C-alpha cells in the first residue's frame, strides 16, 4: 500500500527537528500512587517507538505528559528542542504532537465526516465546504482501506470505524509526532494491515511515532525500538531485533511468572441456550446455534460481520431482533430489554467499556457490585466495608490491585477498566456470559488471568460466548467456533479442525473478506 503523504503532513516549525521528543528525569505522582519515576527517553524522527508494560506500568501517564494533559512533577519535556513545562494540550499540539487515545473521543450525534475533522473543518472562504469535506474524507478513507459513509451518524458506526475516524483526524492534522495508544484493539486483520502500511509510510516520511500495544507480535513486526516500563520506571530500551516476545514478557513481569493455565473440563450435553433463526434486518440473517453447559462458543468474523450484533440481540439490546430462543430447554419469548435477558441468566460484557460497560463516576468497587447489591446491602443501604470485601474477593482473581477499588473508575487505566467490566458479572455468576472483545487493551498477564477466570467459570457450569478480533484467542478458548460473514454463519469449526488458517479460508472463500468495514 503506497501512500502519498504530501497532503497529510506539513512541516511544523518548532526548532530542532532531529529530536522530536526528549524526556529527562520525568516524575509524576497521584494520591497514593507514584505513576512515573525518573523517566528519561529520546524518540527520534522517522522512528516507530513502542511503549510496552503491564496495565498500570505508567504508559498512559507518560503519553499524557508528552501531550500536555498532565504537567510533570519533576524533570523536563522537550518537543523539537523546546521545553514545555505547562499542562496545556493546545501548546503541545501546536508544537507538533497528535494523540490517538485508546478511549475514543467521538461525538455520537455528529456525522462521520464531522468527527474526522473535529476542530479542523474544511472551508471555502468563510463557509464550511461540504464538497471539500467529503473529498478529503474519501481520500483519507481510501488510504486506510475503510468504507464509511461520511454522512452516517458516528453513533451508528462500529467501534472499529469510530477508531478509524480518529486516525483520519490525526492524519489530517499538521503534526510530526503521532502517539497511537492501542490503535488496533478493535480492528480485524485486513484493517490492521492497512493501518500498519500507513504507520510505516508516515515513519518513512520522518514522523516520530509512539506506539502503545499489548500485542507483542505487532510491536516486534512494526516498531524500530521498544521501551519496557514497569511500576512507573523505564526497565530497558532496545532495538526490536534485540528483543523477543519471551524477553519482552520477562522484562514486563520482572520475574513474576504467569499463572499456569487452568485445565478445562469438556462441556456437557445439557443445553443452556438454543437460538433459531435469529435475524436483524440488514445486519444478521437466520443465525442458529446451541450452547451447552460448560461450553465456550467462539464467534469469529471480520469487523462488520454481525458478531457484536448477535451478542447485543441476545442481551436484549436490539428491539429489531427476531428469532426463537430456548433457555434450559424451555421456549421463551425473545428478550426485549436487558432486564428480561438477565432474568434468563444472560449477561453481556460489551466491547465499549466506557460508554456501555461502566459508570465512570463511581468507584471501582461500586461498579463491581452494581450488578448485584443484595449481598452488600442491609435494610436498603449499601454497607461500604462489605462492598469492598466482596469486590476484593472478585477482582483479586483478575490480577486487579485491590488498593485501587476505592478509586474513581475514570482514573483507572483502560486495562483495569476492562477487568471491572468482566468482574462485575463474576459477582452475580450468570448462566450465560457474553464476552465481546474481553482482552481489548490489556497486557499479557491480565489476559492470562482473564482466560483462567473464563476456564473457572465454564468448569463451574457457566456457558460463554466469546468474540474477539484476535482469531488466535478464539481458537485457544473456544470448544466450537461459528465463523460469521455478512451476518450469516458460513462455517462451524470444532476442536479437531479449529485454526486461524481454517477461519480465514472460510472467510475468503465466502467473500466475507471483501465486506470492508
Task: Convert 227-236 to b/e letters by CB count within 10 Å (16 or more is b).
Answer: bbbbebbbbe
Would you say 264 and 459 are in contact if contact means Cβ atoms under 8 Å apart? yes
- Other residues' Cβ atoms within 10 Å of the Cβ of residue 38: 13
d(CA 306, CA 433): 18
Task: Convert 373-397 to b/e letters by CB count within 10 Å (16 or more is b).
Answer: eeebeeeeeeeeeebbbbbeebbeb
> According to the model, what pLDDT value does residue 514 have?
42
Lay out the sheet containing 33-43: strands in order across: 33-43, 21-30, 74-79, 82-83
Would you say 120 and 173 are in contact if contact means Cβ atoms under 8 Å apart? yes
Angle in degrees, CA 507, 212, 91, rounded to 5: 125
The one-digit pLDDT tens for each residue of the chain (517 residues) are: 434 433 334 434 444 557 999 999 999 998 767 889 999 999 999 999 999 998 778 998 999 999 999 999 999 999 999 898 777 888 898 888 988 887 778 888 899 998 888 877 666 656 667 778 888 898 888 877 778 899 999 988 877 788 788 878 877 876 789 999 988 876 777 778 878 888 888 888 889 999 999 889 899 999 999 999 998 999 999 999 999 988 998 898 886 665 667 788 889 999 999 999 999 998 999 999 999 999 999 999 987 789 999 999 999 999 899 999 999 999 999 999 999 999 999 999 988 777 788 999 999 999 999 888 888 888 788 888 899 998 998 888 777 888 889 988 888 877 788 888 888 888 778 899 999 988 887 777 778 888 888 898 899 899 999 999 888 899 999 999 999 998 999 999 998 999 988 998 898 776 655 433 3
Q: Where are the beta strands (DSSP E) in 260-362?
A: 271-280, 284-292, 296-301, 322-327, 330-332, 346-349
Would you say 274 and 326 are in contact if contact means Cβ atoms under 8 Å apart? yes
> What DSSP state is assigned to residue 465?
E
Please measure the distance between the N-terminal and C-terminal CA atoms of the chain and give it in whole angstroms: 18
Q: What residues does 297 pair with on adjacent strands?
A: 465, 480
Q: What residues does 26 pair with on adjacent strands?
A: 39
> According to the model, what pLDDT value does residue 41 have?
95
- Other residues' Cβ atoms within 10 Å of the Cβ of residue 263: 7
> According to the model, what pLDDT value does residue 16 have?
52
Q: Where are the beta strands (DSSP E) in 231-317?
A: 233-239, 271-280, 284-292, 296-301
Identical fold, 1-96+177-190+208-257 and 259-345+430-517: yes
Tell the CATH topology of 1-96+177-190+208-257: Rossmann fold (3.40.50)
Q: Where are the beta strands (DSSP E) in 80-174?
A: 82-83, 97-100, 123-124, 127-128
3-state DSSP assignment of residue 474: helix
The H or E element containing residue 207 is: none
Pairing mode of beta strands 271-280, 432-436 = unpaired
d(CA 276, CA 321): 12
| 311 φ/ψ angles, rounded to the nearest 5 degrees | -65, -40
Lay out the sheet containing 432-436: strands in order across: 346-349, 432-436, 463-467, 296-301, 480-485, 488-494
> Of 91, 83, 88, nearest to 15 (Cα)?
83
The H or E element containing residue 454 is: helix 444-459
Give, in words, the CATH class of 259-345+430-517. Answer: alpha beta
Would you say 450 and 420 are in contact if contact means Cβ atoms under 8 Å apart? no
> Of 325, 360, 85, 97, nearest to 207 (Cα)?
97
d(CA 378, CA 147): 53
| 23 φ/ψ angles, rounded to the nearest 5 degrees | -115, 130
**pTM here?**
0.66
> According to the model, what pLDDT value does residue 79 have?
93
d(CA 248, CA 220): 10
d(CA 137, CA 149): 9
> What DSSP state is assigned to residue 354?
I
d(CA 482, CA 288): 10
Q: Where are the domains of the chain?
A: 1-96+177-190+208-257, 103-173, 259-345+430-517, 358-428
Q: What residues does 33 pair with on adjacent strands?
A: 30
3-state DSSP assignment of residue 257: coil
d(CA 306, CA 302): 9
d(CA 112, CA 342): 33
Amino acid at each position: 500500500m503506497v501512500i502519498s503523504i504530501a497532503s497529510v503532513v506539513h512541516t511544523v516549525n518548532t526548532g530542532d527537528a532531529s529530536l522530536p521528543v526528549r524526556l529527562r528525569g520525568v516524575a509524576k505522582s497521584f494520591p497514593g500512587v507514584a505513576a512515573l519515576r525518573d523517566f528519561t527517553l529520546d524518540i527520534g524522527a522517522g522512528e516507530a517507538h513502542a511503549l510496552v508494560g503491564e496495565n498500570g506500568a505508567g504508559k498512559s501517564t507518560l503519553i499524557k505528559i508528552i501531550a500536555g494533559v498532565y504537567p510533570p512533577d519533576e524533570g523536563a519535556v522537550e518537543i523539537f528542542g523546546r521545553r514545555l513545562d505547562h499542562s496545556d494540550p493546545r501548546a503541545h499540539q501546536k508544537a507538533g504532537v497528535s494523540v490517538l487515545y485508546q478511549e475514543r473521543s467521538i461525538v455520537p450525534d455528529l456525522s462521520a465526516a464531522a468527527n474526522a475533522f473535529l476542530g479542523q473543518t474544511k472551508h471555502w472562504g468563510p463557509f464550511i465546504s461540504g464538497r471539500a469535506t467529503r473529498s478529503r474524507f474519501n481520500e483519507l478513507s481510501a488510504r486506510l482501506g475503510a468504507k464509511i459513509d461520511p454522512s452516517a451518524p458516528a453513533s451508528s458506526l462500529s467501534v472499529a470505524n469510530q477508531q478509524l475516524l480518529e486516525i483520519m483526524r490525526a492524519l489530517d492534522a499538521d503534526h510530526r509526532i503521532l502517539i497511537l495508544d492501542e490503535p488496533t484493539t478493535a480492528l480485524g486483520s485486513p484493517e490492521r494491515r492497512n493501518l500498519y502500511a500507513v504507520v510505516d509510510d508516515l515513519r518513512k516520511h520522518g514522523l516520530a511515532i509512539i506506539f502503545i500495544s499489548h500485542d507483542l507480535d505487532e510491536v516486534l513486526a512494526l516498531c524500530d525500538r521498544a521501551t519496557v516500563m514497569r511500576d512507573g520506571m523505564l526497565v530497558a530500551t532496545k532495538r526490536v531485533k534485540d528483543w523477543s516476545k519471551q524477553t519482552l514478557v520477562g522484562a514486563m513481569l520482572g520475574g513474576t511468572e504467569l499463572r499456569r493455565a487452568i485445565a478445562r473440563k469438556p462441556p456437557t450435553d445439557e443445553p443452556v441456550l438454543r437460538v433459531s433463526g435469529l435475524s436483524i434486518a440488514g445486519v444478521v440473517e437466520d443465525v442458529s446455534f446451541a450452547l451447552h453447559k460448560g461450553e465456550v462458543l467462539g464467534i469469529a468474523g471480520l469487523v462488520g460481520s454481525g458478531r457484536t450484533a448477535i451478542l447485543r440481540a441476545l442481551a436484549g439490546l436490539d428491539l429489531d431482533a427476531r428469532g426463537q430462543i430456548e433457555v434450559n430447554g424451555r421456549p421463551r419469548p425473545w428478550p426485549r430489554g436487558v432486564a428480561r435477558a438477565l432474568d434468563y441468566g444472560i449477561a453481556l460484557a460489551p466491547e465499549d467499556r466506557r460508554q456501555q460497560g461502566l459508570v465512570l463516576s463511581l468507584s471501582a468497587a461500586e461498579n463491581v457490585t452494581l450488578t448485584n447489591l443484595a449481598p452488600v446491602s442491609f435494610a436498603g443501604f449499601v454497607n461500604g466495608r462489605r462492598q469492598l470485601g466482596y469486590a476484593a474477593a472478585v477482582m483479586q482473581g483478575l490480577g486487579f490491585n485491590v488498593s485501587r477499588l476505592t478509586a474513581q473508575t475514570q482514573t483507572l487505566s483502560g486495562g483495569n477498566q476492562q477487568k471491572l467490566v468482566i468482574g462485575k458479572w463474576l459477582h452475580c455468576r450468570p448462566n450465560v456470559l457474553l464476552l465481546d472483545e474481553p482482552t481489548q487493551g490489556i497486557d499479557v498477564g491480565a489476559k492470562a488471568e482473564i482466560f483462567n477466570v473464563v476456564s473457572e467459570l465454564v468448569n463451574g457450569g457457566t456457558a460463554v460466548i466469546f468474540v474477539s478480533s484476535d482469531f488466535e484467542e478464539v481458537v485457544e478458548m473456544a470448544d466450537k467456533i461459528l465463523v460469521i460473514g455478512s451476518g450469516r454463519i458460513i462455517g462451524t469449526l470444532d476442536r479437531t479442525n479449529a485454526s486461524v488458517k481454517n477461519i480465514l479460508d472460510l472467510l475468503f472463500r465466502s467473500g466475507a473478506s471483501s465486506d470492508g468495514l
